[in-house]
Chain A
Amino acid sequence: MLPCTGRIDESLLLKAFENGADGVMVIGCLEGDCHYVNGNIRARARVERVYTILEQINIGPERIRMYNLSAGEGAKFAAFTNEFVDQVQELGPSPINLVRGNGLKKSEQEVQAT
C-alpha cells in the first residue's frame, strides 16, 4: 500500500503485471482533495500512460483502472472493487498468466487492489 497515489509511477504499475496481476486498481483521493495538491492528478496521468502501454502490447488496457474515493466512502469502495473484480474475471487471466500456465482460479485470487 502506498500513502499517496502521487508516488505511483508507470514502472510500479507494470511491475504488478509482471508479478502476475490480472488487473490493477488504483484508488486515489477525490480530485481537488489531495493533501499534496495534485498527487492524484499525476497518478491519473500515469495510469493513462500505462493504459496506452497495455493496449500497445496486447495485455489489454481494461486491466487497469483508477478510481477516486474519500476515506469515508467504504460502501463505494466495496462497490467499485466488486465492479472491477467482476470486470477482470470476465476478461480472464492476463496473457502473461496464460503463458505461465496459471489458471483462472488462481488469477481470481490475484486481482490486486492498490
Chain B
Amino acid sequence: MITGTPKPIEEILEMLEPYNNIVVAGCFGCVTVCRVGGDKEVQVLSSTLRLAREAAGKKIEIREVCLERQCDPEYLEPMRPYIEDYQAVLSIACGAGIQFMAEKFGKTPLLPGINTGFLGVTERQGEWTERCQGCGDCVLHLTGGICPVTRCAKSIFHGPCGGSVEGTCEVDKEVKCGWQMIIDRLVSLDQMENYGKLKPYKGWDASRDGGPRRIIREDMV
C-alpha cells in the first residue's frame, strides 16, 4: 500500500489561513488502511480544525467527504457539482490522489493534509516499512523475494558492500543489510546460483530517470 503520515496541525492551520469554507477529502484506499486519510481521519481532522479555528476567533466551515479513491476519475466526479462552492480542498489522500483532484478541478486550490510516504507493508498496528520503489524491472525471482533496490540503502546490484557489518547497514544500525538478507535467504532456499545470474549493473530506464512514467496497456485501452 501507499503509506503516509499526518502533517503537523500547525502546518495545516497555516495553509488554511486564507480560507474559511473548505472541503476535507479522504480516500477509502491505501490511506484508510494505514490510518492517515480515511473517513475516520476526515472526521478527527475536521473537528480539530474547527476547534482550533474557532478558539482563535476565526471560524471555518468544513464539508467532510471520503471518496472511494482519489486516483480514479469516476470517483472524483461526484464532487464536481459542489466543489466551486468551497474556497479550497484539504485532501488527506496520497500525493497521487491530491494531484489528480487538482487536475480535474482546476479552479479550486488543493492542499495536502498528509505527507505521502512509500510503498510498504504493515509490520504491526502503527508500524509500516518500505518494500518497493517501483523501479519497473523486478528481479525478486533472483533475490529470494527481497528487493535490492529498496532494501539496500545504495540500491546496488552486487552487494553486500563494505558498509555491511554483522548484517546491519552503515547508514543505521537499526537497518538490516539488504544484501546480507538476500544471501541468507538464497542459502536457505538453496538458490545461491541465482546470485550469479544478476546483472552487474541495473538499467534504470524503466525507473524514474526518464521523468514521470506512463503505462499504456494496449489490450485495455
For B161, the chain A residues whose CB sits under 8 A away are none
Q: Mark B162-179, 1 if CB is under 8 A from A, else 0.
A: 000000000000000000
Given A56-B9, A57-B9, residue A18 in contact with residue B51 (CB < 8 A):
yes
A11 contact from B9, B10, B43, Cβ within 8 A: B43
For A11, the chain B residues whose CB sits under 8 A away are 40, 43-44, 47
- A58: min CB distance to chain B, Å: 6
A1-30, CB < 8 A from B = 9-11, 14-15, 17-18
**A102 to B43 CA separation, bound complex (whole angstroms):** 25
A99 within 8 A of B: yes
Q: Which residue of A lies closest to B57 (CB)?
A: A99
A59 within 8 A of B: yes
Q: Which residue of B lies closest to A98 (CB)?
A: B55
Q: Mark B32-61, 1 if CB is under 8 A from A, else 0.
A: 000000001001100110111011010000
Given A11-B40, A56-B9, A57-B9, residue A96 in contact with residue B47 (CB < 8 A):
no
**A84 to B54 CA separation, bound complex (whole angstroms):** 25
For B55, the chain A residues whose CB sits under 8 A away are 57-59, 94-96, 99
Given A96-B55, A99-B54, residue A56 in contact with residue B44 (CB < 8 A):
no
**A59 to B55 CA separation, bound complex (whole angstroms):** 8
**A9 to B10 CA separation, bound complex (whole angstroms):** 22
- What is the number of contacts between chain A and chain B, taking CB atoms within 8 Å? 42
Q: Which residue of A lies closest to B48 (CB)?
A: A53
The size class of the interface chain A forms with chain B is 10 to 19
Q: Mark A72-114, 1 if CB is under 8 A from B, else 0.
A: 0000000000000000000000111001100000000000000
**A18 to B10 CA separation, bound complex (whole angstroms):** 19
For A17, the chain B residues whose CB sits under 8 A away are 47, 51
**A6 to B40 CA separation, bound complex (whole angstroms):** 15
**A94 to B51 CA separation, bound complex (whole angstroms):** 10
- A3: min CB distance to chain B, Å: 20
- B137: min CB distance to chain A, Å: 41
For A58, the chain B residues whose CB sits under 8 A away are 52, 55
Q: Mark A36-71, 1 if CB is under 8 A from B, else 0.
A: 000000000000000001001111000000000000
Closest 7 CB pairs of A and B: A14-B47, A11-B43, A57-B52, A95-B55, A10-B44, A56-B9, A11-B44
**Which B residues contact A (CB, under 8 angstroms)?**
9-10, 40, 43-44, 47-48, 50-52, 54-55, 57
Instruction: Provide 19 A-B residue pairs closer than 8 Å at the C-beta atoms, listed in order of the A residue.
Output: A10-B40, A11-B40, A11-B44, A14-B44, A14-B47, A14-B51, A18-B47, A53-B44, A57-B48, A57-B51, A57-B55, A58-B55, A94-B55, A95-B55, A96-B51, A96-B55, A99-B54, A99-B55, A100-B54
**Which A residues contact B (CB, under 8 angstroms)?**
9-11, 14-15, 17-18, 53, 56-59, 94-96, 99-100
6 new A-B contacts, CB < 8 A, other than A11-B43, A17-B51, are A9-B44, A53-B9, A53-B48, A57-B9, A94-B55, A95-B55
